[in-house]
Amino acid sequence: MKQKVILLKGTHRNQSVIFFQFEKDEKIIKILRQNFSVLWSATNRMWYAPEQGFDLQKLLQVMKGLAWIDYSAIRYKSPPPATHPHHTESKESVPDLPPHMADKLAQFTRWMEHKRYSHNTIKAYRDMVKLFLMFFQDRDTTGITNEDVVRFVNEYMVKRNLSFSYQNQLVNGLKLFYREVEKSRMDIEKIHRPKREFKLPNVLSKEEIKGILEAHANVKHRAMLSLIYACGLRRSELLNLKPTDVDSKRMVLVIRNAKGRKDRIAPLSAKVLEMLRTYYKAYKPKRWLFEGQYAGTPYSAKSLQSVLKQALVKANIHKPVTLHWLRHSYATHLLEGGTDLRYIQELLGHKSSKTTEIYTHVSTKQIQQIKSPFDSL
């Protein structure tokens, strides 16, 4: 069985370095010394090389057939393609696959595009399958067995303690790849799926929401954050809106091609509509409801995150709030206001009512009516 070498970023003697973590192996040490001039750190008990000028592709090449390189922790970034308006940077860029695997991955990508999978799903599945194939870069894809898949699960997924959602998405991507590209009988169901973590959604109080929404003087920034909360939008849904999606006669917002490729509508409050009218007169957006620096270009996800971050500072809120917290708060406040759970499911665009039911665990309306026995002492 091949050795595994884990790459880690760190600092040693005031220098940014790459650490090599692996069980002692004289062949690996010799190759690292010859190609990367590594030194031994007695403090960290690992070999290391300067980060500046480090060549990951070269390492993969010289270690081919000898060791599996886990480079996920060093997070190499790649620029986003200019063709998609709301694409965000990948946290890590997987090096090139051998030609025989690259062809299979390209075939898989084309199949997903033909089936009209969303851009984000295509990218996630492609990157995850690519990571899996890199694990077996010296093998033919048809020669990968059930035992190999179990090995990948144990040596990569489990040991790295990946989140439930990441592991689940990776399993889904592999299932699809082997079913549609390899036409394989591999029992992919043997892949271990972790138990779903029961995590409550993060919810802000109405006072905190008010502070965030009123923090900006800029009407565009206020309108974006207000619309996310007022209609329970996902970030991508806000950025994909067009001026024609605001139906002032019916007092609804039309959310098109949302998650699951479904359209839905959300009620539009008179206060938000008035704010949108003020914004529209000032900015006169053309193609997108919220446009970027140049007319006709969409507002970026990164800039929207920055708008929220600035609002948190101004509102003196020190919680690690994300845009999705506004959506969670919208749902919870609706529930506490007496809105039926079935309507909330429709407003959020949830496929299953079980997804919506989690908000019953964070609603404080009934809990606040319970008296602690401590009070009767």
d(CA 243, CA 226): 16
Catalytic pick among 175, 234, 242, 314: 234
> According to DSSP H, which parts of the chain are helical?
26-36, 56-62, 99-114, 119-135, 146-152, 164-180, 206-213, 219-231, 235-239, 270-283, 301-314, 323-336, 341-348, 353-357
**How many C-beta atoms surround the C-beta of residue 124 within 10 A?**
18
Q: Is 123 a catalytic residue?
A: no
Q: Is 350 a catalytic residue?
A: yes
Catalytic pick among 12, 119, 151, 324: 324
Catalytic pick among 48, 156, 299, 359: 359
Q: Is 192 a catalytic residue?
A: no
Q: Quick one: which of 126, 104, 102, 103 has its CA closest to 113?
A: 126
Q: Is 324 a catalytic residue?
A: yes
Q: Is 327 a catalytic residue?
A: yes
d(CA 38, CA 29): 8
Catalytic pick among 86, 130, 235, 327: 327
Spatial neighbors of 158 by CB under 8 A, at least 6 apart, are 192
Q: At what angle do helices 301-314 and 206-213 cross, to 10 degrees?
A: 110
Catalytic pick among 259, 280, 283, 314: 259
Residues that are catalytic: 234, 259, 324, 327, 350, 359
